[in-house]
Amino acid sequence: MQPKFKKMLYGGDYNPNQWPKEIWDEDMKLFHQAGINSTTINVFSWAKIQPSENEYDFTELDEIVDTLTKEDVQIVMATSTGALPAWMVHRYPEVARTDFEGRHHKFGHRHNACPNSPVFQKYAKRLAEKLAERYGDNKNIVCWHISNEYGGECYCENCAKAFRVWLKDKYKTLDEVNKAWNMEFWGHTIYDWDEIVPPNDLGDGMPWGSGTAFAGMSLDYMRFNSDGMLNNYKMERDAIRKYDKETPITTNLMGTYKGLDYFKWAKEMDIVSWDNYPSYNTPWSHVAMTHDLMRGLKDAPFMLMEQTPSQQNWQPYNSLKKPGQMRAQSYQTVAHGADTIQFFQLRRSVGGCEKFHGAVIAHAGTADTRVFREVTQLGKELEKIGSRVMGSENHAKVGIIFDWENYWALEYTSGPNRDLRYVDQIEQMYNYFYNKNIAVDMIPIDADFSKYDLVAAPVLYMVKDGVAESLEAYVQAGGTLITTYMSGIVGQSDNVHLGGYPGPLRKMAGVWVEEIDALAPEQRNKIRFADGTEEECRLVCDLMHLEGAEEIAQYESDFYAGMTAVAKNQFGKGTVYYVGTDLSESGLAKVLAMAADSAAIQPVIGEATALEITKRQADGEDLYFIINFKDEEIPLPAVFDGKEDILTGEKVQGGEMLKKYGLRIVSVPRA
């Protein structure tokens, strides 16, 4: 795949406007010393660039751009629209957001603009256009970065009006709205468009329980909010395109962030970028899964726009990264599809709430720090191997469906168990494949399933029109599908598919679920597999009947002891596994092993190992990223004996021991 950039970008957020100019010269020397070849600038400079309504001042930004250009530093140019200037909120209070509780905000913080404010849109578009007109022909600008970490919601009158327009476009008539939201419930029938109120705490939103009395309404508001912010992104993108037709345009996403439908957003982005901030105890499997999700948004390499070189400042416990951890984490990112490594931030701020957020250049202002030495080592390595890695591709025969509308719907539903969380359920399934070094693509609900030998669709709660038919066609043609409890329950407006769970998946799964039991945190059940193996289960238990499927395991206790807990059904040339309860890790692994075996799924290498091994396919070679995230030394698999490590140029020896955070990037020529 043709890479987006000529070199692997290595750098990050840079705010020289916060420093006197003599510091800029020091920064340039330190950047070159560390191998920093790119900077992301102008992220939060709207107030500096536009000090009043009709006044623009680009003097300082011109100097920053000139300095970086003379030093041949690649520039990621942000549009500065992630935080409003104070004068705008003072003069036009409607540009600020109204929160879920109905409180209208004053000036402050960031990500603080009402996405449906005509005033905000007017000035944001104008600013993006002026930036592109002024800098669009600068060859050192290699990427445009719109706004910053889009997120949040607004419930003001501007949003209410825009929501009604959005609904008219989607439903055409109020009869269809009432039907979709089941407004006969509680006597909520709407007779006039102006009677529709956004579902906040003052209306049909609820700050407790599921968060809503009418999930169909709240789902539509989530869709509307995601679309509205996306329209803002597209507005700025199109303004830039008037003057710069080619430079890639992006905005930084946030992994499994709930509020925005990233698969929909990715269609409008030239390249996906995201900010990776795991906490001190985030499993490495979760980090890997999120990278795979970001790669999966466009099925293409992505940008790591932000990570910290040392520590965060905004989490409850902001531990330092241990020696070697930043390097290993960076290579894990590259292994799963990144073509850039960028930090927040390059120089640590003097004040503000991020003054203790890690940086390449610490408050000491010297190169004589552990972090700077590690950044320098990584910079030299990436400069050496970047051209060999960039544009290489990750391929998988396992696809796991990640669907934002299911994410919203499952967590809006009032029952059966409040501890049922969408990302947790996805991650449980991903972990099995991660631990086996089996490559995974995170895929949308409308993916081409035929690319995969095995598709996993855990908690596929919402099955919209056409989804069941696509999955049936996939299985009938020979595919293997795994789905679980809380699947096939509702349609696109959270109205139940009548006729028995799992609704439109029932025929293909070969089971009928009569009831769903909820287990409190202290409660457990057990299941027994046909071979006598016993495993624990929790959260929910489907009480199911077989309709052609084969029993794999049954419950051992409660009044439904002896009923089927896990089933397998032959459907056409393929197979469907239905898991009716939240299994222990080993129990789920047993089922997934059966499914993987029936689909002939193979790991990246044949040898079992506790090392993380990921493969990217480049021209004429496979690049294996081998990383040790465990607390003990682990031998390198024998299959790599005699192969080249592209970091060192040396031949590796199978059996050599890798320490924690140790890594090898091994090239295996492809015939």
| Catalytically active residues, by annotation | 149, 306
d(CA 106, CA 83): 13
Instruction: Work out whether the CA dihedral 617, 620, 624, 625 comes out positive or negative.
Output: negative
CA angle 644, 441, 2 (to 5 degrees): 60
Q: Omega of the bond prior to 502 within 30 degrees of 0, cis?
A: yes
Helices 157-171 and 215-241 pack at an angle, to 10 degrees, of: 100
What is the rounded radius of gyration, in angstroms, for the C-alpha atoms of the chain? 26
Secondary structure (3-state) at 497:
coil
Q: Quick one: CA torsion of 300, 303, 309, 314, rounded to 10 degrees?
A: -100
> 């003052």: which residue's tokens?
202
Q: CA separation (Å) from 171 to 225, 496, 534, 604?
A: 17, 19, 50, 47
The closest alpha carbon to 533, from 556, 563, 557, 561, belongs to 556
The answer to whether the annotation marks 156 as part of a ligand binding site is yes
Residues whose CB falls within 8 Å of the CB of residue 28, separated by 6 or more in sequence, listed in order: 67, 71, 73
What is the rounded CA–CA span in Å between residue 128 and residue 124? 6
Strand blocks (E) in 458-563 = 480-484, 511-518, 525-529, 534-546, 550-555
Neighbours of 585 (CB within 10 A): 13
DSSP string, 4-54: SSSS-EEEEE--GGGS-HHHHHHHHHHHHHHT--EEEE-TT-HHHH-SBTT
Tokens of 274: 């995201």
541 is in an annotated binding site: no
Contacts of 552 (CB under 8 A, 6+ apart): 529, 530, 564, 565, 566, 567, 568, 577, 591, 594
Angle subtended by helix axes 404-412 and 422-435, to nearest 10: 130
Separation between Cα atoms, residue 203 and residue 211, nearest integer Å: 11
Residue carrying the six token digits 């682990």: 634
Q: Does 353 carry a binding-site annotation?
A: no
d(CA 442, CA 341): 21
Q: Rounded to the nearest 5°, which phi and psi values hold at 231? A: -60, -35
CB 142 within 8 A of CB 38: yes
d(CA 389, CA 376): 19
Of residues 143, 40, 145, the one with CA closest to residue 82: 145
Q: Which residues contact 190 (CB under 8 A, 6 or more apart)?
A: 174, 177, 178, 183, 196
Contact 394, 337 (CB under 8 A): yes
State the binding site for Zn(2+).
Answer: 114, 154, 156, 159
State the binding site for substrate.
Answer: 110, 148, 314
State the binding site.
Answer: 110, 114, 148, 154, 156, 159, 314
